[in-house]
Amino acid sequence: MRNILSAGIAVLTTLLCCCESKELPAVKTVVLIDNNEFRVTTDYKVLDRNFTKWVENHPNLEDDSMLLSSIRSQNTESIIYANKLADSLRLNQRLEFRIADLLELDSCLILSKSGKEYVATAKSERVSDTGTSGRKFSVEGRTILVVIDNIY
């Protein structure tokens, strides 16, 4: 809830500053997950910062560098659909790790389409199965994302 409030305050502050200068900000939204039940979004700058920090700390992961370039190539769009950034299964899986990171950091807005309202946060839990472990994110008891972090 605090992040929704923080995000709202940041947007209002930006709008107030821009109104004083008679300019409207260029808001860029990235749709991370969009299905029949939920739409999960984040701000372009939040995704760019998250990827940049990750790539700086893990320079040998070429797929992540490719995704960062793909994100930046979409910089002129007002709405970016994350599923269009990854053109292969491997890149899509790398993107899912970044989405999981943003969900854990509460850096997303989650819209419940059934209730037509924003949900405060996604529930995160560690899961394991035969030979794998990972994270499962759910909202209102429904799974929105599962990532496998380890294969034994």
- For 29-71, write each residue's pLDDT tens digit: 999 999 999 999 999 999 999 999 999 999 888 999 999 998 8
- For 89-112, write each residue's pLDDT tens digit: 888 899 999 999 999 999 999 999
- For 131-140, write each residue's pLDDT tens digit: 899 999 999 8
pLDDT tops 70 at residue 7:
no
Return the DSSP state at 86. -
Structural domain range at position 62: 2-151
Per the structure, how many domains does the chain have? 1
CA distance 42 to 106: 10
pLDDT higher for 34 or 14? 34
